[in-house]
């Protein structure tokens, strides 16, 4: 059964295309990740799927319901944890959950039982009756996850669930997310720009850049596609000739130059390093450093876009500023 079907979904804001004809499917029970830099269109996608935004064109179904024609049924079937906290700070944690449950039409007994359940799940029971303004960032996020679950949604959207949290809290949130998915059988769609998060949590990942899905598969298979190992050479001075020579070698699968670093994909990297060093010496190229690692999703992103995710974010920021300027002038 499919929890989500997206077909050629597109969203434009005043001529700027935020999401550009994306299509994907998520099976019921799956933990699916949208991975990409800030501004790639992840949040816009979530906003469309959760009925907050109408798409410019295309179609999508969530839990079997059309996101345009059956908004109310979609809303009943989903829980959403937004990127920015969406809590009322002047209410207690329990009151936030209670108001949520009432909005979703749950009666009092059902409400109390379920609220205690979700509070226990995120370990906030002893802090439930203090005002949210006194919560830490991690507690707020946990409360929001709990709130997203109160009405027992079939599908849970998590938009950057660990943004701005410290490493330890992040681990904790990851555990809750896994528990939800495995033990409570909730289909989860999360967005993230943290490679390790997508790698660690997701059954399947769609890599999204400039509003387009550029690769989609399990993290393992995405990494396998790059093949074997990655050797990174940091070189002194001009290295074009060396790069050409390396490219001619039979065992090199692909080679990329990026910021003075050569990224070479090979099988059995540990055996290839001496050969490559020998070649460098023959060509009179000075090597500053060598590194060998298994491909990460970061390498996958680099492979498909020619940029690291951080660089993509920087250029995206510039684009947004220019866009904002244009808008401001109007």
Partner 1 sequence: MIINTNAIYVLWLREMKRFLRAKSRVIGTLMIPFFFLAFFGLGFGKMNIPGLGNDIDYIHFLVPGIVGMTMLSTSMFAGISVLWDREFGFLKEIMVAPVSRISIVIGRIVGGATTSVLQGILILGISILMGFKIPGIPAFLLSIVFMLLISSTFIGLGLIFASKMKDMQGFSLIMNFVTFPLIFLSGALFPLENLPAWIRYISYLDPLTYGIDGLRGILLGVSSFSIIFDFAVLIVFSFLMTFLGAYFFEKSESA
Q: Residue from 61, 100, 114, 204 that binds partner 1 (CB under 8 A)?
A: 100
By CB under 8 A, which span of 30-38, 86-94, 116-124, 248-256 interacts with partner 1? 86-94
Round to whole Å and give the CA distance between 12 and 230: 38
Residue 100, token pair as written in the block: 């949520």
Q: Residue from 76, 152, 256, 261 that binds partner 1 (CB under 8 A)?
A: 76
Q: What are the C-alpha distances in Å from 50 to residues 39, 63, 109, 116, 207?
A: 18, 11, 28, 26, 20
Round to whole Å and give the CA distance between 8 and 32: 18
Residue 307, token pair as written in the block: 């940029």
Residues in contact with partner 1, shown as a per-residue x/- string from 14 to 53 under the rule CB under 8 A:
------------------------------------xxxx
Q: Residue from 80, 124, 177, 276 that binds partner 1 (CB under 8 A)?
A: 80
Nearest distance, CB of residue 186 and partner 1, angstroms: 16
Nearest distance, CB of residue 191 and partner 1, angstroms: 15
Residue 211 per-residue DSSP state: T
Q: Residue from 5, 95, 234, 245 that binds partner 1 (CB under 8 A)?
A: 95
Nearest distance, CB of residue 78 and partner 1, angstroms: 8
Q: What DSSP string runs through 15-54?
A: TEEEEEEEEEEEETT-EEEEE--TTSSHHHHHHHHTTSS-
87 binding partner 1? (CB under 8 A): yes
Total residues binding partner 1 (CB under 8 A) = 28
> What are the strands, taking DSSP E only, across the chain?
2-13, 16-27, 31-35, 57-62, 65-66, 78-81, 155-159, 187-192, 204-209, 212-217, 229-235, 252-258, 261-266, 287-293
Round to whole Å and give the CA distance between 62 and 173: 24
By CB under 8 A, which span of 101-109, 282-290, 299-307, 312-320 interacts with partner 1? 101-109
252 binding partner 1? (CB under 8 A): no
- Write out the residues near partner 1 by the rule CB under 8 A: 50-54, 72-73, 75-76, 78, 80, 82, 84-91, 95, 99-100, 102-105, 147
């Amino acid at each position: 059964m499919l929890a989500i079907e997206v077909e050629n979904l597109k969203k434009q804001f005043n001529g700027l295309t935020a999401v550009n004809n994306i299509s994907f499917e998520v099976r019921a029970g799956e933990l699916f990740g949208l991975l990409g830099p800030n501004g790639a269109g992840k949040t816009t996608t979530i906003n469309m799927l959760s009925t907050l935004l109408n798409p410019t064109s295309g179609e999508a179904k969530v839990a079997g319901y059309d996101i345009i024609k059956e908004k109310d049924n979609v809303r009943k079937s989903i829980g959403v944890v937004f990127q920015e906290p969406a809590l009322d700070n002047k209410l207690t944690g329990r009151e936030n959950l209670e108001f949520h449950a009432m909005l979703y039409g749950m009666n009092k007994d059902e409400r109390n039982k379920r609220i205690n359940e979700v509070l226990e799940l995120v370990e906030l029971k002893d802090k439930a009756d203090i005002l949210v303004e006194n919560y830490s960032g991690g507690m707020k996020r946990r409360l929001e996850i709990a709130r997203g679950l109160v009405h027992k949604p079939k599908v849970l959207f998590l938009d950057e669930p660990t943004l701005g949290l410290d490493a330890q809290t992040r681990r904790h949130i990851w555990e809750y997310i896994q528990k939800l998915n495995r033990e409570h059988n909730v289909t989860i769609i999360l967005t993230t720009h943290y490679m390790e998060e997508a790698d660690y949590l997701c059954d399947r990942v769609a890599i999204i850049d400039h509003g387009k899905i550029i690769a989609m598969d399990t993290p393992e298979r995405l990494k396998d596609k790059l093949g074997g190992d990655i050797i990174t050479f940091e070189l002194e001075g001009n290295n074009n000739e060396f790069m050409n020579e390396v490219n001619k070698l039979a065992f090199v699968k692909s080679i990329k130059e990026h910021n003075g670093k050569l990224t070479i994909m090979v099988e059995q990297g540990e055996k290839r390093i001496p050969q490559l060093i020998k070649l460098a010496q023959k060509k009179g190229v000075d090597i500053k450093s060598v590194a060998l690692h298994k491909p990460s999703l970061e390498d996958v992103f680099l492979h498909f876009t020619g940029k690291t995710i951080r660089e993509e974010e920087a250029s995206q920021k510039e684009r947004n500023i220019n866009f904002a300027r244009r808008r401001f002038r109007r």
